[in-house]
Structure 1
Amino acid sequence: MSEEEQKRRLEVVEICAGAGGQSLGLHLAGFKHKLAVELDQTAADTLRNNLSEREEDWDDDTVRVGDVADPSVWNPEDYKGVDLLAGGVPCPPFSVAGKQLGANDERDLFAWAVELCGTVQPKALLLENVRGLSANRFTGYRQHVLDRLYEHKYIGRWELLHAADYGVSQLRPRFVLVALQEEYAEYFKWPEKHTTKPPTVGELLADLMSDRNWEGAEEWVRKANDIAPTIVGGSKKHGGADLGPSRAKKAWSDLHVDAWGIADEPPGPGFKPSPRTKGEEVKGPKLTIEMVARIQGWYGKDYKWEFSGKKTSQYRQIGNAFPPPVAKAVGEAIASALRKEHKQTLFEHENQVFDPVYKILKKESEKKVRRYLDAEKIAGLLEREGTRLSLAEVEQRLVHLGHDFELESTERKSGAIAYRLGEFKAFLGQDDHQRHELFSQHRTRIS
């Protein structure tokens, strides 16, 4: 690779960009946005206003507003061969706080984003989502994703990254998929964790909490002596400007933070915590938007970011973001691989197996004569390949597969139910998919 190519600022197309947590991280990692697409107008305003100040040769058309799967918003063919395709596709289809509908959720764009690799052919792909996607419920879904990437000649790997390992004062696990074309895969290594712990909530917010001369600020800093629980942004359908469900509120209370809302300003002289209802224990003040943004990783001169919209919208933009320091760390690792800087041995060229039951059914579905297989037959075939699963484990995996795939079934004379693997239910770009109608019906509540 020439010196000129080494210095070239890499280009990224970002889908479901939100207010720019991932955008900022990738920018700091050396990427320039060729395109960013976001559904929410206010979040797109935030993104446009901030990136236009940072990126050279800025074009106002770089940020587009609308459904990322709508061909009238952008044409993937126009971005063929871009260095990186990245996105923080919607989390509710996989979140344990929701119904975990996966492929049946009209907000699910994960599988569709993977299919984009066949059209855009980026050198690398980065997708992040909630920890729920790593659960056993979605092994078949994840297997399908890896298999499709492999068919497109990408080597993909999943990793659960914790924001606190990259300097963010928050318990925020994110399940991250990185895939690279075979030429670059052997140069990729997941970013190293920081060797020092991030500051506590008290240490991080000390200056902001004392900004209006609150007498209790110093004592509060001592009591807020741990990192924060995961900030929950909520959605237009559920959640407002507060710090999450009951369990999260208890964790915030232990840090002497009132999680029942967001304050307009820090506490001032004479401030004393007051309960919302009689008998409720309130130990401390509410946080401001600036404080929440700092906990999410917008901290320091390189991370300055102005949020558009009213308080609830700003909070949602911050709470739903990929923490910029984590995005920066992953972005730097991808950039290093694309520049072929350090050869690794961590990305093998064979595909991983997450769901052996799916693999058996998939293999059978590709034969000229497709058999139905019952749980006992599947378990036997797996054992021949060196994988032992009990009948109960096989049956549980079949239940999970039935959520995201069409499973054809027939009853044997013995009473056993046998199965064949049918179509993946997820939206992959099909013109007749139910996603179009459901998305149109619920668009005003999707974020």
Structure 2
Amino acid sequence: MKAIELFAGAGGLGLGVSRAGFSPQMIIEWDRWCCDTIRENRRDGFGLIGTWPEPTEGDVRGVDFRTLEGKIDLITGGPPCQPFSLGGKHRAHADSRDMWPEAVRALRETKPKAFIFENVKGLTRESFATYLSHIVLQMTYPELTAKYGEDWEGHLSRLEKHHTGHRGSTGLEYNVVYRVLNAANYGVPQRRERVVFVGFRNDLDIEWSFPRETHSHDALLSDQLKGNYWERHKVRKADRIVDDRHWGRLDRLTKKTDVLPWRTTRDAISDLPDPELEPLKAKKHHDHRFQAGARTYPGHTGSPLDEPGKTLKAGVHGVPGGENMLRRPDGSVRYFTVRESARLQTFPDEFRFHGSWTETMRQLGNAVPVELASVIARSVKHHLTFGGSDFLK
């Protein structure tokens, strides 16, 4: 099945979609460092990216999608999220970086069978509720565009009237659902929450829901309380950190056997040498170098080794850097290396990032975990292939 990847970044979402069996026909990204990362992996013939087309570097607003009308099964992407992120100025529709209209234009011009878009959890905040409705209705009716001189609120009003009053088919239409997903609940060793939008063209009559969660915090607590987790990692009893508050819940936690334990930072990186304590061994691993200068900030004290990592941030100084750190059991901290960060985002070890440490951490902080993307895309592909039948992982 054929796909288009918008706002590709370093390729996390696209790699997951490719793993699910989609073949990208176009990869679009404006940032040259991200494009260089994709080009480097293409040139090295890395896995699925080795078969990707040359990325289209530039502003998506200059791309004409009409030549691909009717030829695309899936469009994916993460429209720039600064208008909605906690680190931004929260301008939403007034922000020139809001690329949701371009995502909708790609739907309108190619008419794909389905789409997967993602964004920061901040988009679902109460202060953005009205604009979120506008986004969803635009994706539902991509051909009902804003009129000349019409502001977004007027467009929203017209979309709402159309949505409540139309009968029967009125052109291109998608059935859209969205949900805030925690990547840790799908096997990613990082607590990373993103809002994911999935839509199917309504003429396909596909019934779909988000894949069930496969991992849980309760299962991790049970695994640690029973000692299985510590024995698996050969951690001495004196070094095991167990929250005594959960002992009274052990019987109840043990009964939940239908999901796997959350994956922790230790699960993700324990086979890598510590780059600060064992620098010579660390040099044998690509992008695994110690970076000095880590320090904590109030409320930003790094990721505990025996929990999923905290959300990686697209920055390395100030508060973002306070999140992109490992906190060892003795309380000391250091920055995650590029390779460790890539592990937390479930990129394969063979994947190479282009640019300085600061630039690479920005790419990783903006990326979609590959495994989360793969889980969703596999479910979408299954339903496009077999219709409304249930998808069992």
> 1:200: which partner in 2?
264
1:166 aligns with 2:155: no
Whether the aligned pair in 1 keeps the contact of 2:19 and 2:48 (CA below 8 Å) is no
1:185–1:306 CA distance, 2 compared to 1 (3 A): farther
1:181–1:67 CA distance, 2 compared to 1 (3 A): same
> 2:65: which partner in 1?
76
Matches within 5 A, 1:41-440: 41-51=32-42, 53=45, 54-55=47-48, 58=51, 60=53, 62-70=54-62, 74-81=63-70, 82-151=72-141, 152-184=172-204, 186-194=206-214, 195-210=259-274, 214=278, 224-234=305-315, 241-242=316-317, 245=319, 249=322, 252=325, 255-256=327-328, 283-299=332-348, 304-343=350-389
> 2:28: which partner in 1?
37
1:343 is displaced (CA, Å) by 3.2
1:250–1:149 CA distance, 2 compared to 1 (3 A): closer
Deviates more, 1:113-122 or 1:30-39: 113-122
What is the one-letter code of the residue matched to 1:199?
R
1:56–1:204 CA distance, 2 compared to 1 (3 A): closer
- Residues in 1 aligned to 2:322 and 2:205: alpha-carbon distance in whole angstroms: 42
What is the one-letter code of the residue matched to 2:347?
W
1:213 is displaced (CA, Å) by 6.3
- Residues in 1 aligned to 2:203 and 2:88: alpha-carbon distance in whole angstroms: 39
Whether the aligned pair in 2 keeps the contact of 1:179 and 1:185 (CA below 8 Å) is no
Whether the aligned pair in 2 keeps the contact of 1:170 and 1:230 (CA below 8 Å) is yes
1:182–1:344 CA distance, 2 compared to 1 (3 A): farther
- Residues in 2 aligned to 1:135 and 1:313: alpha-carbon distance in whole angstroms: 29
Which sections of structure 2, spanning at least 5 residues, go unmatched? 142-171, 215-258, 282-303
1:148–1:128 CA distance, 2 compared to 1 (3 A): same
Task: State TM-score, norm by structure 2.
Answer: 0.68
- Residues in 2 aligned to 1:298 and 1:58: alpha-carbon distance in whole angstroms: 17
1:211 is displaced (CA, Å) by 6.7
Describe the superposition over 1:304-354 as per-residue Cα deviations: whole angstroms up to 9, x where unpaired: 311112221111111110110011011111111211344369xxxxxxxxx
3-state SS in 2 of match to 1:338: helix
Whether the aligned pair in 2 keeps the contact of 1:189 and 1:344 (CA below 8 Å) is no
1:186–1:315 CA distance, 2 compared to 1 (3 A): same
1:227 is displaced (CA, Å) by 1.3
What is the one-letter code of the residue matched to 1:40?
D
Whether the aligned pair in 1 keeps the contact of 2:12 and 2:370 (CA below 8 Å) is yes
3-state SS in 2 of match to 1:116: helix
Which sections of structure 1, spanning at least 5 residues, go unmatched? 1-9, 218-222, 235-240, 258-272, 274-281, 346-447
Describe the superposition over 1:371-408 as per-residue Cα deviations: whole angstroms up to 9, x where unpaired: xxxxxxxxxxxxxxxxxxxxxxxxxxxxxxxxxxxxxx
1:56–1:187 CA distance, 2 compared to 1 (3 A): same
Percent of aligned pairs with the same amino acid: 28
3-state SS in 1 of match to 2:87: coil
What is the one-letter code of the residue matched to 1:256?
R
- Residues in 1 aligned to 2:190 and 2:106: alpha-carbon distance in whole angstroms: 32
1:146 is displaced (CA, Å) by 2.5
Describe the superposition over 1:173-198 as per-residue Cα deviations: whole angstroms up to 9, x where unpaired: 00011111013452423122112123
3-state SS in 2 of match to 1:132: helix
What is the one-letter code of the residue matched to 2:328?
H
- Residues in 2 aligned to 1:178 and 1:134: alpha-carbon distance in whole angstroms: 15
1:18 aligns with 2:9: yes
3-state SS in 2 of match to 1:125: strand
> 2:294: which partner in 1?
none
Paired residues, number: 292
Whether the aligned pair in 2 keeps the contact of 1:185 and 1:337 (CA below 8 Å) is no
